[in-house]
Amino acid sequence: MSFPVKKFFSYYKPYLAVFIATLACAFIATAAALVFPLLVRYITKDVLAGDLTQALSKVYEIGGLALLLVVIQNAAYYFMDYKGHEIGARMESDLRAELFSHLQMLSFDFYDKQKTGQLMSRITNDLHLLSELYHHGPEDYIKSLVRLIGSFFILYSINAPLTIAVFCFFPILGCLAFYFNKRLNKALRRNKERIGDVNAQVEDSLAGIRVVQSFAGERTEMEKFNRENQRFLDSRIHTYKTEAVFYNVFETLLQLITLTVVFYGSVNIVHQQLDLADLITFLLYIGFMIEPIQKLAHMSTQLQEGITGFQRFMEIMNLKPTIENKPEAIVLPEVRGAIEFRQVTFRYGDRSNDVLSNLSFRVQPGEFIAIVGPSGAGKTTLCSLIPRFYDVSDGEVLLDGVNVRDLELTSLRSNVGLVQQDVYLFDGTVLDNIRYGKPEASEEEIIEAAKHANAHEFIMSLPFGYHSEIGQRGVRLSGGQKQRLSIARLFLKNPPVLLLDEATSALDNESESIVKESLDKLAEGRTTIVIAHRLSTIRSAQRILVLTEDGIVEQGTHHTLLARDGTYANLYAKQFEYQT
Ligand SMILES: Nc1ncnc2c1ncn2[C@@H]1O[C@H](COP(=O)(O)OP(=O)(O)OP(=O)(O)O)[C@@H](O)[C@H]1O
């Protein structure tokens, strides 16, 4: 991937004025610092070596000047430290918001492949490293350049041959930095992928901790974790080895520079081409240059880490949501709830076989239909095509006669309500969770919805009623209670189309009957498609579609299908046998 330079720099735009001010401060502070060795040289060579009666006033003058430089230097450093970090933090926050907002837009097929831990790693580690580069990078380069160029000219004016001898080392240092940069870049990228894998593993194991413990699977989880942890460790050790070689080769060369100055300078003093004050000045400036050169190594790491972070950030940002609004998407003013599948064929992205093939059926507004069929026949998939969680591979899905692909996504999805077996509740209060169905709902509306969903009573028995915290994913509630909250959410949302995907399958008989009662209430007057394994729960459906891998093989009411003695009658008989 070529590096998107323009995009990279565009993040400075909102803070350009302050950013330029911090760079100016970096320049001023470094330039002020450059003057100090010159002052030392002036004092030792000109002031103290000359007429000492005049010396004192000059020492005071230089002392005053030095003090002024100290004040200027530190005021500039203060501004740089404070504002530079502030800009970095703000840019990081902007990038994080942009990434999070983009992640919200990406379609289901992206999340089918992506690990949450990897994404967390991008949102936290990568962006932090990137912000370090954003605010420290340019500032460090300016400081280093001013030091190196300034020192070169000052030293050149003192002793040209010695200066050239010292600077001859620099191209070697440059080549070395270039070579190791490449290797470090690769190593750091691998580190990031590995820590992402560790995070993904931790996330997976902890999210499923109840399953882990119920299967006594702690050892298996430990083994999986150790494997990822070891891979991360190996990768880091490899990086440290590369870094250690790099820094130490660098260090050796730096020491060689100092030695060159000491020996070559001493020879020059013997030949009276240099005096002691000049040699001291040289050594002071060498000390001054060593920092930027040493930093060059760190800066290249910082540059590589930041660039890798940015590339990983852009990898996600460049992903286009596969499900998007068309330029002139239609907003349906009032949805009646007619659904039609017209010769729909669907296959998941990376699968070779069609899950649904050439499927056609219609559902009238307000009709209550059920879809039954063997596991894996594609019932859930079929439902997910209505709110356009996935796009059909061929054919059309229509809502009120309009292809769902032509509808504005928010308007489509706000008209379709989905209740699944696996209810997802957010960390927060009961009130917050129900309000998710209609953010602007008043407390009265929420209570009304909870009453419709048969949830009011149990909510009132919680320690803080509607203000009780339900824990992450609603762990402090029973399955039936969670389901009733999700139904209350839909009473508020009030969609004309309802999809109930195994909504009561995980519940015991008693909770099932309470939840079913509230679902029946919810379904009143809405187009409802129910997927159910327990066929006893859908006997009252106006129409039952039997979906197998050959498509819809039968349809009719419970009684007509039983009378046909076909697939449905078979499925029913099997369940009846199983239950008795
Ligand atoms: N996100 C996905 N990516 C790839 N394949 C998938 C995905 N979801 C489901 N499938 C595959 O599509 C097929 C149909 O799955 P689907 O969940 O729609 O069946 P179902 O009839 O609802 O099954 P069940 O009754 O067991 O819930 C299965 O073979 C499944 O492996």
Question: How remote is the CA of residue 481 from the centroid of ligand 1, in Å?
Answer: 27
Question: How remote is the CA of residue 498 from the centroid of ligand 1, in Å?
Answer: 20
Residue 295, pLDDT above cutoff 50: yes
Residue nearest to atom 31 of ligand 1 (CA): 376
197 Cβ partners below 8 Å, 6+ apart?
A: 115, 117, 118, 228, 231, 232
Does the beta carbon of 351 sit less than 6 angstroms from any atom of ligand 1?
Answer: yes
Q: What is the pLDDT of residue 508?
A: 67
Q: What is the pLDDT of residue 578?
A: 54
Q: What is the pLDDT of residue 437?
A: 83
Q: What is the pLDDT of residue 72?
A: 95
In 3D, which of 25, 383, 451, 204 has the Cα closest to residue 459?
451
Render pLDDT for 349-360 as a digit per residue (tens, 0 to 9): 878 889 999 999
Separation CA 387–CA 400 (nearest Å): 13
Give the mutation target among 108, 355, 375, 500 for probing the ligand 1 site: most ligand atoms within 8 A of CB.
Answer: 355
Residue 412, pLDDT above cutoff 70: yes
CA angle 142, 145, 146 (to 5 degrees): 85
Q: b vs e for 327-360, b when ≥16 Cβ sit within 10 Å of the residue's Cβ?
A: eeeeebeebebbbbbbebebbeeeeeebbbbebe
Question: How remote is the CA of residue 261 from the centroid of ligand 1, in Å?
Answer: 74
Query: How much is the average pLDDT of 146-164?
Result: 90
The top-level CATH class assigned to 329-415+496-580 is alpha beta
Residue with the two structure tokens 């969680």: 389
Question: How remote is the CA of residue 374 from the centroid of ligand 1, in Å?
Answer: 11
Does the beta carbon of 346 sit less than 6 angstroms from any atom of ligand 1?
Answer: no
Render pLDDT for 238-259 as a digit per residue (tens, 0 to 9): 999 988 998 888 888 888 888 8
547 SS3 class = strand
Question: How remote is the CA of residue 94 from the centroid of ligand 1, in Å?
Answer: 38
pLDDT band at residue 73 under the 50/70/90 scheme: very high
Separation CA 173–CA 574 (nearest Å): 78
Give the mutation target among 111, 322, 346, 380 for probing the ligand 1 site: most ligand atoms within 8 A of CB.
Answer: 380
Render pLDDT for 193-231 as a digit per residue (tens, 0 to 9): 898 889 888 988 888 887 788 778 888 899 999 999 999
Q: Which atom of ligand 1 is nearest to the CA of 382?
A: 18
Q: Which atom of ligand 1 is nearest to the CA of 381?
A: 18
Q: Which atom of ligand 1 is nearest to the CA of 378?
A: 18
Separation CA 111–CA 118 (nearest Å): 11
Cite the DSSP H helix spans in 5-45. 5-10, 16-41
pLDDT band at residue 505 under the 50/70/90 scheme: low
Q: What is the pLDDT of residue 393?
A: 93
Does the beta carbon of 348 sit less than 6 angstroms from any atom of ligand 1?
Answer: yes
Q: Is residue 368 classed exposed, middle or buried when 0-12, 13-18 and 19+ CB atoms within 10 A define those classes?
A: buried
Higher pLDDT, 405 or 536: 405
At the topology level of CATH, where does 5-317 sit?
ABC transporter transmembrane region fold (1.20.1560)
Q: What is the pLDDT of residue 250?
A: 82
Does the beta carbon of 422 sit less than 6 angstroms from any atom of ligand 1?
Answer: no
% residues pLDDT > 90 (the chain): 36
Residue nearest to atom 27 of ligand 1 (CA): 375
Render pLDDT for 314-340 as a digit per residue (tens, 0 to 9): 988 998 888 889 898 889 888 899 999
Q: What is the pLDDT of residue 405?
A: 95
Residue nearest to atom 9 of ligand 1 (CA): 381
Q: What is the pLDDT of residue 11?
A: 94
Does the beta carbon of 548 sit less than 6 angstroms from any atom of ligand 1?
Answer: no
Residue 277, pLDDT above cutoff 90: no
Query: How much is the average pLDDT of 415-423?
Result: 86
> What is the bridge-based pairing of β-strands 551-556 and 416-420?
unpaired
pLDDT band at residue 1 under the 50/70/90 scheme: low
pTM for the full model?
0.77
- Mean residue pLDDT of the chain comes to 87
Residue 296, pLDDT above cutoff 80: no
Q: What is the pLDDT of residue 580?
A: 45
Does the beta carbon of 375 sit less than 6 angstroms from any atom of ligand 1?
Answer: yes
- The CATH 1.20.1560.10 portion of the chain extends over 5-317
Question: How remote is the CA of residue 381 from the centroid of ligand 1, in Å?
Answer: 6
Query: How much is the average pLDDT of 272-295?
Result: 82
Residue with the two structure tokens 């060498």: 286
% residues pLDDT > 70 (the chain): 97
CB-based contact 490:408 (threshold 8 Å): no
- The CATH 3.40.50.300 portion of the chain extends over 329-415+496-580, 423-494
Residue nearest to atom 24 of ligand 1 (CA): 375
pLDDT band at residue 345 under the 50/70/90 scheme: very high
In 3D, which of 362, 401, 412 has the Cα closest to residue 542?
362
End-to-end CA distance of the chain: 62
Residue 400, pLDDT above cutoff 50: yes
Tokens representing 425 are: 């509740």
Number of C-beta neighbours around residue 279 at 10 A: 20
Higher pLDDT, 1 or 264: 264
Separation CA 536–CA 499 (nearest Å): 18
Beta bridge partners of 527: 497
Query: How much is the average pLDDT of 41-45?
Result: 85
Q: Helix/strand/coil (H, E, C) string of 312-333?
A: HHHHHHCCCCCCCCCCCCECCC
Separation CA 80–CA 67 (nearest Å): 20
Check residue 536 and report its DSSP letter: G
Beta bridge partners of 339: 363, 399
CA angle 568, 573, 579 (to 5 degrees): 130
Render pLDDT for 443-483 as a digit per residue (tens, 0 to 9): 999 999 999 888 898 899 999 999 998 877 777 788 888 88
Separation CA 20–CA 79 (nearest Å): 12
In 3D, which of 460, 499, 467, 498 has the Cα closest to residue 481?
460
Higher pLDDT, 505 or 288: 288
**Least confident stretch, 80-89, 389-398, 406-415, 563-572:** 563-572
Does the beta carbon of 374 sit less than 6 angstroms from any atom of ligand 1?
Answer: no
Edge-to-edge strands, sheet with 339-346: 356-363, 339-346, 394-399, 402-403
Q: What is the pLDDT of residue 4?
A: 86
Higher pLDDT, 544 or 122: 544
Question: How remote is the CA of residue 348 from the centroid of ligand 1, in Å?
Answer: 9
Q: Which atom of ligand 1 is nearest to the CA of 350?
A: 4
Does the beta carbon of 381 sit less than 6 angstroms from any atom of ligand 1?
Answer: yes
Give the mutation target among 381, 383, 390, 549 for probing the ligand 1 site: most ligand atoms within 8 A of CB.
Answer: 381
Does the beta carbon of 525 sit less than 6 angstroms from any atom of ligand 1?
Answer: no
1.20.120.450, 3.40.1620.10, 3.40.50.300, 3.40.50.2300: which CATH number matches 423-494? 3.40.50.300
